[in-house]
Homo-oligomer: A and B are copies of this chain.
Amino acid sequence: MIPVEEARARILAPLRPTQAEIVPLAACLGRVTASPILARLTQPPADVSSMDGYAVRASDTGDLTVVGEAPAGHPWEGILEARQAVRLFTGSVVPAGANAVVIQENVTREGDTITLTRAVAHGANIRSAGQDFAKGDGLVPAGRRITPRDVGLIAAANHPWVSVHRRPRVAILATGDEIALPGDPIPQGGIVSSNAHALAAFVQRAGGEALVLPIAPDDRAAIAAAAQGSAGCDLLITTGGASVGDHDLVASALANAGLVLDFWTIAMRPGKPLMHGHLGPLPLIGLPGNPVSTLVCAILFVGPALARLQGLPGDAPRTTAAILGADLAGNDHRADHLRATLATDASGRLVATPFPRQDSGMLRALAHADALILRPPHASAAKIGDPVEILQLDGLG
């Protein structure tokens, strides 16, 4: 059994980001940039007004003559002289000769004459050319997951296309004689397959493309044949068959296909029997069959692996400080991940209360949990109010 951190490091080590593909701007949200995005133009392209008002010379006061109008997109072509004004709107180019904008609320207008009761400061209400960015500026670095704000910035920088890492393709293979697809006939003593579907959703949310393979029965030849469906993928995830029982067949089934095992147990709960290795060039993560273990392992290992495949670092999921809402016994040698609800106490602190039962067969409790309380190996007993580290599940799966 190896520690959680070592397992994550060994899973991540051989992973390389996928190659770049070109996607239209409208499809780049959530993708990871494959190269830096530079400004193709200067923004604003010229000095522009930040308000509705009049372009003037800063020294002028009293009565000025309005000699023209420049709606946004229709610059006034002349050169503004002393005691002249040009009507501007937000975004209008400030004409040559002007060096300030007076806000329309601060003047009175009679015909073509405006009256300024006091002088306006040099540069007032002007956005200088390049105030936002200059042509050639690096705006979005490579290796960043694109937000809606980034989409706006990329558009403003005049890019109709974006180079991003291809979505990692993840094949998901569920095994077991006892499982049936939702809605399909259920064999006697059988259950409905949930792991593959939860994993596919997890992969999708993490930015990958999930390929759900047909369920393989508990038969070495069938498992090996089903695994061939992962051709062209960047990662194969199996669920079930990663334990040590006689019917845990995945490792032996794939051994014939050339599986090189790296490790197969982690000092953690739930999820001890996690298998990692390579099938030729294809990385394989073999998850245990029970759904709680599968999803906790997905959060701890599959999420970082998908991040790494997309060109992100793939750091451990970020923890948050909280305080305990119930006493906890001391922990054994396995890192524990207790399903918990969150609340905020009167002084604004986050309180994590573990469910009384932590059986790894209880999918409902995991789905209803707000967080996992992280209990390191050999953690001492802890009391209500003691500090703990948690993983908030909201953003993770």
Binding site for B on A (CB under 8 A): 25-26, 29-30, 41, 43-46, 50, 52, 70-75, 87, 89-93, 104, 127, 131-133, 137, 139-140, 147-161, 176-179, 181-183, 186-195, 197-202, 204-205, 212, 218, 243-247, 289-291, 294-295, 298, 321, 348, 359-364, 366-367, 369, 393, 395, 397
Name the distance in Å between A65's Cβ and chain B's nearest Cβ: 18
Name the distance in Å between A225's Cβ and chain B's nearest Cβ: 19
30 contacts between A and B (CB under 8 A): A25-B182, A43-B191, A52-B243, A72-B177, A75-B188, A75-B189, A89-B245, A91-B178, A91-B191, A127-B361, A131-B362, A132-B361, A139-B367, A140-B367, A148-B198, A148-B298, A149-B198, A149-B363, A149-B366, A149-B367, A149-B393, A151-B201, A152-B194, A152-B195, A152-B201, A152-B367, A154-B182, A155-B197, A156-B291, A158-B186
Identify A361's interface contact among B44, B176, B289, CB under 8 A. B44
Name the distance in Å between A125's Cβ and chain B's nearest Cβ: 11
Name the distance in Å between A135's Cβ and chain B's nearest Cβ: 12
With CB as the reference atom, state the residue of chain B lying closest to A202: B148
Known: A25-B182, A71-B177, A395-B395. 13 other contacts (CB 8 A): A50-B361, A52-B243, A87-B246, A90-B245, A148-B397, A149-B367, A151-B197, A151-B201, A152-B367, A153-B194, A156-B363, A160-B181, A321-B348
Q: Which residues of B contact A204 (CB under 8 A)?
A: 29
Identify A363's interface contact among B132, B179, B294, CB under 8 A. B132
Q: Which residues of B contact A243 (CB under 8 A)?
A: 52, 90
Contact B359 A155 (CB under 8 A): no
Cα(A369)–Cα(B148), bound, Å:
13
Contact B127 A359 (CB under 8 A): yes
Contact B364 A133 (CB under 8 A): yes
Q: Which residues of B contact A245 (CB under 8 A)?
A: 52, 89-90, 104
Contact B140 A159 (CB under 8 A): no
With CB as the reference atom, state the residue of chain B lying closest to A77: B188
Contact A189 B46 (CB under 8 A): yes
Q: Which residues of B contact A52 (CB under 8 A)?
A: 243-246
